[in-house]
Amino acid sequence: MLNAGKRSVVGILVDAVDYEAALDFIFKASREKRNATVSALAVHGVMTGVLDHEHQFRLNHFGLLVPDGQPVRWALAWLHGIKLKDRVRGPSLTLKVCERAAAEGLSIYLYGSTSEVLARLRESLTRKFPGLRIAGAEPSKFRRLTAVEKREVAERIVSSGAGITMVGLGCPRQETFAYEFSQTLPMPILAVGAAFPFLAGLSAEAPLWMQECGLEWLFRLACEPRRLWRRYVYLNPAYLFLVAMQATGLSRFSTDGVTPIREQLFG
């Protein structure tokens, strides 16, 4: 198990951990019935914090930010000399959490995406892990939640008896959800993003060789060019430039962020 702690990647505090350390963090919090916010960050996730200082504050107050994208793992090696054997990929972490939850008798709650995706996801997960108990599944409303709705969502999740909540709202909405529910849900909240449609079998995943070479973004761009082209055409080069600035000492990146003035909860 490797856990080298938090390290700044252009001002975002990424945890230099492997899968075993991430699982240990999640299940320890679940057993102790305390909140722990977790997200798997690729380049896009890192850059959402770089470009929005309030969101940077949220991310840097997460319990665990794992290096999902290969470029984030490589940055940990380049900037801090921490050579992880593998990244901690969101969909893979989700499967490992479900496998261990089934073995330990912990139930999970699924929040986000659509009813169709959730139905297929439940079917897929229970087929892979027959002992897995899914305490509840609730689709996104695809809009801001009112204060009453937020309270009702929290009450449904807590009363379900779930030991872990998985959130698939897309970045940065899911991290905002996890941050803003962190005071009301006494359990780990995992922001897992694209894991929902991937594991439901409704979105294609990049071939393994593309994932290992850090080209998963190219595969996703080819699949959804209209939705994703701005993300990758602008953010990927910007990320590389900023990492180079940090590596050469030409720029120092604060990790403070700005405390969010008001809730931005999107459910």
Closest CA relative to residue 189, chosen from 179, 203, 204: 179
Closest CA relative to residue 60, chosen from 124, 7, 129: 7
Question: For residue 71, what are its two tokens?
Answer: 């470029």
- CA pair distance 144, 157, nearest whole angstrom: 18
Distance (Å) of CA 163 to CA 53, 68, 158, 192: 31, 23, 9, 16
Tens digit of pLDDT at every position of the chain (267 positions): 888 899 999 999 999 999 999 999 999 999 999 999 999 999 999 999 999 999 999 999 999 999 998 999 999 999 999 999 999 999 999 999 999 999 999 999 999 999 999 999 999 999 999 999 999 999 998 888 888 999 999 999 999 999 999 999 988 999 999 999 998 999 999 999 789 998 887 766 767 776 776 677 666 767 677 776 677 778 889 999 999 999 999 999 999 999 888 777 666
pTM for the structure as a whole: 0.92
What are the backbone dihedrals phi and psi of residue 76, each rounded to the nearest 5 degrees, phi first?
A: -60, -35
Question: For residue 69, what are its two tokens?
Answer: 């994208």
Strand partners, 64: 38
- CA pair distance 200, 194, nearest whole angstrom: 10
- CA pair distance 66, 93, nearest whole angstrom: 10
Which residues does 196 contact at the CB level (< 8 Å), separation at least 6? 110, 112, 113, 117, 118, 121, 168
Domains and CATH numbers, the chain: 3-193 (3.40.50), 211-247 (no CATH)
What are the backbone dihedrals phi and psi of residue 66, each rounded to the nearest 5 degrees, phi first?
A: -95, 150
What are the backbone dihedrals phi and psi of residue 208, each rounded to the nearest 5 degrees, phi first?
A: -55, -40
How does strand 36-41 pair with strand 107-112? unpaired
Question: For residue 6, what are its two tokens?
Answer: 């938090």
